[in-house]
Amino acid sequence: MSNIPTDLKYAKSHEWVRISGDTATVGITDHAQHELTDIVFVELPDVGKKVTASDIYSPVSGEVTEINKAVVDNPAIVNSDPYSGGWFYKAKISGGAEASPLMGADEYRQQIESA
């Protein structure tokens, strides 16, 4: 069974979001990293890039403010620690209500268990 922290929000495309004020930290879920198996390459957006929730790897809209260079240098962190050390980027959220379509832990668990 996948690890699904209850303090995060989840996208149907298996990204997680930790929202703190107007900053969203984004990564992929434990379930996703299991499905992808050994992650050997990670490409992150540039700092300053505007992302929207319709972008393939962005569950929120905003401007990228920080990337996790550790996962670029050592992508295996995503496999070993997807919710802490394995985050991808942080973005300043534009339009705070945008996080509302994201799922809570229980909804996400139901999605992956029914797949």
DSSP conformational letter for 33: H
State how far the alpha carbon of 83 is from the alpha carbons of 48, 51, 107, in Å.
23, 21, 18
In tens, the pLDDT along 31-75 reads: 999 998 888 888 898 999 988 765 556 788 889 999 999 999 999
Distance CA 65, CA 95 (A): 16
In tens, the pLDDT along 10-26 reads: 998 899 999 999 999 99
Distance CA 5, CA 47 (A): 27
Has residue 98 got a pLDDT over 90? no
Spell out the domains of the chain, with CATH numbers in brackets.
Answer: 9-96 (2.40.50.100)
pLDDT of residue 94: 82
State how far the alpha carbon of 54 is from the alpha carbons of 6, 13, 72, in Å.
24, 11, 23
Task: Give the Cα-Cα-Cα angle 102, 79, 20 (nearest 5 degrees).
Answer: 35
pLDDT of residue 97: 46
pTM above 0.75, yes or no: yes
β-pairing, 89-93 vs 15-20, is unpaired
3-state DSSP of 70-114: HHHHCCHHHHHCCCCCCCCEEEEECCHHHHCCCECHHHHHHHHHH
